[in-house]
Structure 1
Amino acid sequence: MRRVFNKAVPAPHVAGRQTAASDVSVPARAAAASSEIALQPGSSTTDAFRTIAGGLVGLIAAQQSAVLNRDPTGVHQMRIALRQTRVAITIFADLAHGPEAERLKRELKWLTGRLGPARDLHLMDLRLQDTGAVGSAAFRKRVAADRASAFDTASRTVANKRFGKLLGDLRAWIEAGDWAQTSKDVPDSAKTFAKRALTHRAGRLIKKLDGLDELDDEQRHQVRIAAKKLYYATGFFESLFDGPKAGKRLAKFRKHLKKLLDALGALNDTVVQRELASRPANRSRQPKADAAAARELAAADDAITRKQMKAAVKAAAKLADDRLFGD
């Protein structure tokens, strides 16, 4: 069974275009192939890490042209691949650790941060379009201008030599295998490693979900991060558990986890957009009117919060009832 993480978004320009600033070229076929990452039955833990991490670097590279051309979907897909790569290095930390691993994680976090405002402001701009006459024309214009500026930043970032160096360093580090540490704590079998890692993280998440509806925004955000890491990790190893019993359990667990993430993601979006709405209002020549617009959006958020919190609590209960491997 092949596991598809995220389909590479076709770039607006011809695939395979050489970008001078970053010295990264992604042939069309290579970009398409990189969107499929599967582990072979009987894979070793070392081979599993190489396959997963190498495939994810391909996913990052495949979105470069789209981000250069300020495509919102490309920005979103690259951010997902960047986060997945950091999670992969973290999941395999007992095997792949050291100063270079930590440096690469910092660089991945830097790049993710450079793309973040574009995604957040794009969603904010879409919401303002959906809600119609919220805020003055000047207020909506400033949000659109902030969005455009954020996409310019994202485009410049992937044209920067630092981006190309990061991809090159990641590939070299993965292929060299100098990160492979000899440790009694790392089983040779990828399936054994995966079951242990997933069971541990699932148990920790379920404990954090206790009293979910009583958490504040930041605490809930931390739960969302933990859930997202687990969701990515289950995706990495899904092809190893394709038997009728284990495969069904994993698929069911991932379904509940996805519903939890959808609800927590919607809750997080309301928090982010509330903050974003206050920024152009503070710069407005009509501060009272645009502050009122920000409050109007916040009032709409209250209804969303109630609905999504109910969905999150329901998904959390199902995760607790349907354990990952039935243990």
Structure 2
Amino acid sequence: MADTKREIERKYEATPDTRLPDLSRVTGVSAVLDLGTAELDAVYHDTADLRLAAASITLRRRTGGGDAGWHLKLPVAPGVRDEITAPLSDSLPRALAALVRARVRGAGIGPVVRLRSSRAVHHLVDADGTLLAEVSRDAVRAERLTGPDRPTAAWDEIEIELGDDRDPAFLDLVARKFRKAGIQPSAAPSKLARALAETGLEPPVRPTPEPHDAGGHLLAYLREQSEALLSHDPAVRRDLPDSVHQMRVATRRLRSAFRSYRRLLDRSVTDPIGEELKWLAGELGVARDQEVLTERLRAGLDALPRTLLLGPVRGRLRIWSAAHGSGARRRALTTLDSRRYRALLDSLDALLADPPLLKPAGAPAERALPRAIRKDFDRLAARIDHALALPPGPDRDLAMHDARKAAKRVRYAGEAAVPALGKPAKRFARRMKSVQSLLGDHQDSVVARDTLRDLGIQSHAAGESAFTWGLLHAREQSAADAREAELPATWSRAADPALRAALGE
């Protein structure tokens, strides 16, 4: 079984002669506890081409100290990582292997570097004895484990790791003490990064040229979304909140970029990848749609007075959610472990390595990108006009759902153009998002009403009152009617000609 901990730490340079300042004088610190010295032996694992290191991911097997075992560290933000641990074993635990599968794919994982550290540990605690931070002074010896030669390196460093649930601002107080003592922050983001650099085993860096034309800006956006797709993969596997949604957004942004800017890329390459992205979004959507619907129904029940909750409505919703949610999650995980998904990731890598740019991609971004955005906008305008011309009912619901998809596409097209077009594109995308959100809320109401009807039927068949489900159905209908009434004004603001003109030609 793997355990997870949010690691917030800072690293500092040191020499064998460096001495820690008096940290008992840091605000909030009541005592500095000397926990002695531990001998740590860690073997870091990666692919032969260092795919994990290139993504700032650390995978190690460590003995010694109080946390011997397998450790996987996934980046969250600068200085912040999620550390997932598993018990010590000879081979990589399956739970950790799954979390790096999207990065590794068919490549093998093996030892690349060994770090042995002599670690002197101090705990900074408050008046209640609660751990504020752990300060470690490490004498590190690194040995490369690949290649004909086995270069070595050695250095000293200091780590400060924030205690669980402590305010990160505390690290600033400690940093101030270090700065006054002449102790400088480390230039290396991690021990592994430094060990690789000093033993001549740094991961290859993919060149990211400065965009000078429409194609360059588009490729920068595609790289960003491809990386987002890979980064959210382990979060989905860990069932983190909003992870499915974020991964699905990355797939949709990629697919939308292929479609919106299809004049810049060879469609014989992008169309098949786009179809696979559509498949992936659909498979992930089962879990995401279930999550959104459950939250909406639960919020509806929470908003009702207790006197209107007739029958075991909360229990029935829990049963319904569990029955549908577990199947959706299994489907998402099966998808992420499939050959088809790995092939899609390989296709994205190949596209970015050898971009299928067409001649129009060489045009200035200020001319080519607005042209594509306007074309998407015209499609959205036609769909909204069509929806508003229909009488209320199923046909209008379907037309508004189609308009929602068009609004999402033009919004993403605007967002992709922000680095090139600046504030006008940002304002345009924000207006399109307002339209998308309104249409999305309307569609969520349509889906909720279908489910509420089913729950009412199930309750009636079980001899329970269906009153509450009927009441929520009526409220959802009222909410949908309100969204339809708001659409003309929201669309009028979003379709401001001056805003579109500001995008340029």
Shorter-chain TM range is: 0.7 to 0.9
Distance 1:20 1:14, change over 3 A: closer
Deviates more, 1:276-285 or 1:255-264: 276-285
Residue identity in the other structure for 2:383: K
Equivalent position of 1:202 in the other structure: 377
Q: 2:402 aligns with which of 214, 222, 237?
A: 222
| 1:314 counterpart = 2:489 | yes
Distance 1:154 1:293, change over 3 A: farther
**Aligned residues of 1:72 and 1:122 also touching (Cα < 8 A):** no
Aligned pairs for 1:87-106 within 5 A: 87-106=256-275
Equivalent position of 1:144 in the other structure: 322
Query: Matched residues in 1 for 2:286 and 2:471: separation?
Result: 22
Deviation at 1:264, TM superposition (A): 0.7
| 1:52 counterpart = 2:221 | yes
Deviation at 1:222, TM superposition (A): 0.9
Query: Matched residues in 2 for 1:237 and 1:170: separation?
Result: 20
Equivalent position of 1:256 in the other structure: 431
Deviates more, 1:257-266 or 1:317-326: 317-326
Query: Matched residues in 2 for 1:152 and 1:11: separation?
Result: 26
**Aligned residues of 2:287 and 2:329 also touching (Cα < 8 A):** yes
Residue identity in the other structure for 1:227: A
Equivalent position of 2:365 in the other structure: 190
Equivalent position of 1:19 in the other structure: 98
Deviation at 1:307, TM superposition (A): 2.5
Query: Matched residues in 1 for 2:465 and 2:388: separation?
Result: 31
Deviation at 1:199, TM superposition (A): 2.2
| 1:78 counterpart = 2:247 | yes
Deviation at 1:93, TM superposition (A): 1.3
Residue identity in the other structure for 2:103: V
Query: Matched residues in 1 for 2:445 and 2:230: separation?
Result: 30
Q: 2:334 aligns with which of 152, 156, 159?
A: 156
Query: Matched residues in 2 for 1:21 and 1:284: separation?
Result: 44
Query: Matched residues in 1 for 2:448 and 2:266: separation?
Result: 36
RMSD value, Cα: 3.2
Query: Matched residues in 2 for 1:88 and 1:158: separation?
Result: 23
Equivalent position of 1:297 in the other structure: 472
Larger relative helix fraction: 1
Residue identity in the other structure for 1:105: G
TM-score by length of 2: 0.53
Query: Matched residues in 2 for 1:191 and 1:18: separation?
Result: 44
**Aligned residues of 1:227 and 1:261 also touching (Cα < 8 A):** yes
Residue 93 of structure 1 aligns to a residue whose secondary structure is: coil
Residue identity in the other structure for 2:238: N
Deviation at 1:60, TM superposition (A): 0.5
Residue 210 of structure 1 aligns to a residue whose secondary structure is: helix
Distance 1:71 1:196, change over 3 A: same
Deviations 1:131-152 (A, max 9, x none): 1447643354123321122122
Deviation at 1:282, TM superposition (A): 5.8
Deviation at 1:220, TM superposition (A): 0.7
| 1:240 counterpart = 2:433 | no
Distance 1:50 1:290, change over 3 A: farther
Equivalent position of 2:345 in the other structure: 167
| Larger relative contact order, structure 1 or 2 (CA cutoff 8 Å, min sep 6) | 1
Query: Matched residues in 2 for 1:186 and 1:49: separation?
Result: 9
Deviation at 1:157, TM superposition (A): 1.6
| 1:272 counterpart = 2:447 | yes
| 1:122 counterpart = 2:291 | yes
Equivalent residues, number: 301
Query: Matched residues in 2 for 1:54 and 1:276: separation?
Result: 39
**Consecutive unaligned residues in structure 2, runs of 5 or more:** 1-75, 86-95, 106-188, 190-207, 303-308, 391-395
Query: Matched residues in 2 for 1:192 and 1:272: separation?
Result: 40
Equivalent position of 2:124 in the other structure: none
Larger relative strand fraction: 2
Residue 279 of structure 2 aligns to a residue whose secondary structure is: helix
Equivalent position of 1:35 in the other structure: none
**Aligned residues of 1:11 and 1:65 also touching (Cα < 8 A):** no
**Aligned residues of 1:263 and 1:312 also touching (Cα < 8 A):** yes
Deviations 1:156-201 (A, max 9, x none): 2213332222112111122112x2234xx55522221111111222
Query: Matched residues in 2 for 1:168 and 1:142: separation?
Result: 37
Deviations 1:48-83 (A, max 9, x none): 232111211110110111111223410000011110
Distance 1:198 1:20, change over 3 A: closer
Distance 1:300 1:71, change over 3 A: same
Deviates more, 1:51-60 or 1:162-171: 162-171
Query: Matched residues in 1 for 2:442 and 2:294: separation?
Result: 17
| 1:64 counterpart = 2:233 | yes
Distance 1:197 1:287, change over 3 A: farther
Distance 1:100 1:203, change over 3 A: closer
Aligned pairs for 1:174-185 within 5 A: 174-177=352-355, 179-182=356-359
Query: Matched residues in 2 for 1:90 and 1:226: separation?
Result: 11
Query: Matched residues in 2 for 1:305 and 1:121: separation?
Result: 19
Query: Matched residues in 2 for 1:139 and 1:251: separation?
Result: 40
Deviation at 1:214, TM superposition (A): 4.1
**Aligned residues of 2:404 and 2:436 also touching (Cα < 8 A):** yes
